[in-house]
Structure formats: C-alpha cells, structure tokens
C-alpha cells in the first residue's frame, strides 16, 4: 500500500449505550470511510518518498560490543499481563534473558527467552531474541533490561489497566511506515502525543522488499529506526503486502519469513493457528487482527477462527471492538501480486 499515516483513537468514556463503536482500520488510501472515531489525524505530505541512507542517524547501532539493538515489544497474551520483548545481537548470540521489575534500580525478576536466526537469499540475520515476560500487574510501570556485561540496555513500558468499559486508553494508529525521511517525520509526529500508549500497526513495516534481493539489511535498519518508540510501548502488528517477501526467483518461497522471524504475536492465546491473525484485549478495547494475505475464504482456518471469535467479544467489558487489517476485503487473495 502507499501513503502512511498516523492517528489517535481515544477510547476514553466509550459511549457504550448509544453508539457501539466498531472501528475497521485499514491502511492505505483505499478506504476513505475508515475514519470513524479518529480524534486526530496526520498524513504525511504527498510526493515521492526518499529513503534515509544507511548511515542516517536513526539507523546507527547502539554503542558497545554486541549491544542489543532493534529492541521491540508487543503484547504477550490475551489480557495484557504479558509482554513479548524482542531484540537482536549481531556478533554472537549473547543472552536471551530479560531482567525486569517495577523499581528502576531493582530488576528482581528474570525471564529466559530463545534466539533464532534466518537467512534470506544471501542475507543472514543477526541473533533474534524473543522473551515473553508474564504475570505482570495491570496498570504498572515496568523497567526491563537486555544484554550482558558492558552492553546492558534498559527500557520501560506501562501495562494497561484491567479491561473494563470505562478504562481510558489512547492508541496510535500507524500504517505503511517505511524508512524514508517522511517516515521519520511521521514517527516524530506520533511522539508529540504524550498520551499515546500503544500503536495499532496496520501493516507494511520496512518496505525492504522494494530493494534488490529484498535486501534484508533494510529490515534491520527499520527496526533500529523505530526502536525509540517500540521499545517503550507495544506495537500491535498486522501483516501487510510488504511483509510477504515471497520471492521464488531468489529461492525464497516461504511467505512472511523476515516478518515472522522478527515480529512474533500472541496468537496462541486467542486460539489462532498462525501468527497473522489473532486477538487481544487492551483496556476498553477488543482488538481483532486479520491477515489480508492469508487465505480467508469459508472453511479456511482464518475464517473459522474469526467465526468463533466474535461470540467471545463481551461488549459490556470492551465496548470498543477494533478490527485491524491491511487491505479492504476486495483486495483479498491478491497476495502474490504485491502492490
Ligand atoms: C529523524 O527524526 C529525529 C527526531 O525528529 C531527528 O533527531 C533525526 O535527526 C531525524 N533523522 C533523519 C535522518 O531525518
Ligand atoms: C521485587 O521488588 C519489588 C519492589 O521493587 C517487590 O514489591 C517484590 O515483592 C519483589 N519480588 C520478589 C520476587 O523479590
Ligand atoms: C547479495 O547478492 C547481491 C547480488 O549479487 C550483492 O550485490 C550483495 O552484495 C550480496 N550481499 C551479501 C551480503 O553477500
Ligand atoms: C461481560 O462483561 C461484564 C462486565 O465486565 C460482566 O459483568 C459479564 O459477566 C460478562 N459476561 C460474560 C458472558 O462473560
């Protein structure tokens, strides 16, 4: 999809009785009707986007031998009391452990994760670590650290309050971000809203597939670029067409390979069988993520999952039902013809 944008949805004091808000959020300009409930809107200027060069400040790796980079977090279970912490080390695996706690100088909890690596044509990824920290308290600030020795890096995030109809929450809405100079302005714009607590990301992350051989180095630069936000608040991921990375001419026939290695989702917690469609609750919102580029027809796993999902939504508890998908339904099943 084309132009990226960002908006905010204030879920405060949801008007449960009068108007049950259903937000159907899609990326790109193809669905002008999908603006319901936006309290703010930002669209970057039109015109061709120029990508930031590899030596741009926002792509700079953190200092230190084998320092953790590309740190990103996403919700780790259905109710918001777990977080998946991910990061990359480049010269050796290092540690997959996260230490965390509610007091900055007393990170007295430990969780162990795992690392993985993938190849794409002639690219080999760094060591990609994923660690889920669980049993978090609601509405609490957590500090966490990754890395070992001289290269420990510390971050923090807030857990949401326990779901309920009147729990205020502000989601950011970003899609089609990429890594152009404009992408950087878009992210900076989002950061000016101090109330924004989590990002609903409606697909198309790095646009690495626009490069020859889908140069996966651009997946790494993208992750270093967005770390300044996504290390501190969860981004809820939706797969877009630029995540497919289906390239038989390069011998790459497994769709979503870079995306699925880098950006895990808590799909099992909602009974899903694939990471591309899932649901979570967060504050007063129930969020259903759909996969525009995975089969959705009747009797497919995604369809059957969605059918079973709707009855689980309790609008008294979560009056906001938000459905995220990258493309309007009419564009479905075009996944092999990337736009
Ligand atoms: C990106 O934006 C940040 C924050 O506004 C700024 O500090 C940085 O210099 C920008 N980098 C580029 C390459 O535009
Ligand atoms: C960890 O520290 C916090 C205070 O920062 C305390 O409330 C909690 O009980 C401690 N937990 C353990 C397992 O030591
Ligand atoms: C991958 O192959 C392309 C085309 O031959 C080449 O330009 C690029 O430098 C190679 N990259 C690596 C990491 O070997
Ligand atoms: C729906 O949520 C409300 C408010 O939290 C709760 O009182 C009610 O028991 C829930 N209904 C079901 C069927 O779980």
CA torsion angle 66 128 246 215 (round to 10): -10
Tokens of residue 112, six digits: 């162990």
Of all ligands present, the nearest one to the C-alpha of 164 is 4
Q: What is the mean pLDDT of residues 237-243?
A: 98
CA distances from 322 to 123, 158, 168, 224, 288 (A): 37, 21, 15, 28, 6
Quick check: CB of 108 below 6 Å from ligand 4? no
Q: Is 228 helix (H, G, I), strand (E, B) or coil?
A: helix
Q: Which whole number is the average pLDDT over 201-225? A: 98
Q: Is 25 a residue whose pLDDT tops 70?
A: no
Q: How far is the CA of 318 from the centre of ligand 4 (A)?
A: 10
Average confidence score pLDDT of the chain:
88
Q: Whose CA is nearest to atom 5 of ligand 2?
A: 103
Q: Is 108 in the pocket of ligand 2 (CB under 6 A)?
A: yes
Q: What is the pLDDT of residues 251-275, one digit of tens each?
A: 999 999 999 999 999 999 999 999 9
**Residue 231 CB less than 6 A away from ligand 1:** no
Q: What is the Å distance from ligand 3's center to 130 Cα?
A: 28
Considering the chain, what percentage of its residues have pLDDT values greater than 70?
83
Task: Supply the pTM of this predicted model.
Answer: 0.89
For ligand 1, whether the C-beta of 184 sits within 6 Å is yes
């Amino acid at each position: 999809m084309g132009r990226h944008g960002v908006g905010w949805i204030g879920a405060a004091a949801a008007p449960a009785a009068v108007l049950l808000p259903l937000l159907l959020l899609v990326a790109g300009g193809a669905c002008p009707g999908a603006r319901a409930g936006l309290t703010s809107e930002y669209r970057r200027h039109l015109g061709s986007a120029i990508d930031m060069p590899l030596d741009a400040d926002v792509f700079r790796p953190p200092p230190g031998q084998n320092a953790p980079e590309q740190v990103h977090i996403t919700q780790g279970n259905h109710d918001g009391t777990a977080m998946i912490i991910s990061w990359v080390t480049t010269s050796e695996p290092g540690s997959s452990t996260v230490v965390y706690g509610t007091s900055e100088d007393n990170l007295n909890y430990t969780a162990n994760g795992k690392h993985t690596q993938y190849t794409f044509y002639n690219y080999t990824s760094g060591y990609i670590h994923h660690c889920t920290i669980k049993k978090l308290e609601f509405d609490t600030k957590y500090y966490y650290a990754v890395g070992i020795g001289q290269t420990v890096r510390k971050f923090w995030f807030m857990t949401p309050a326990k779901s309920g109809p009147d729990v205020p929450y502000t989601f950011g809405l970003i899609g089609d971000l990429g890594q152009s100079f404009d992408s950087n302005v878009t992210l900076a714009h989002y950061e000016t809203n101090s109330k924004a607590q989590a990002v609903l990301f409606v697909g198309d992350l790095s646009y690495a597939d626009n490069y020859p051989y889908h140069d996966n180095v651009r997946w790494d630069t993208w992750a270093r670029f967005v770390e300044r936000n996504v290390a501190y608040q969860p981004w809820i991921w939706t797969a877009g067409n630029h995540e497919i990375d289906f390239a038989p001419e390069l011998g790459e026939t497994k769709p979503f390979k870079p995306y699925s290695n880098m950006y895990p989702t808590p799909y099992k917690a909602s009974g899903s069988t694939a990471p591309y469609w899932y649901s979570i609750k967060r504050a007063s919102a129930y969020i259903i993520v759909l996969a525009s580029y995975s089969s959705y027809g009747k009797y497919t796993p995604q369809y059957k999952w969605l059918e079973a999902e709707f009855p689980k939504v309790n609008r008294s508890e979560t009056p906001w039902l938000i459905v995220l998908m990258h493309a309007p339904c009419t564009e479905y099943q075009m996944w092999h013809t990337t736009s």
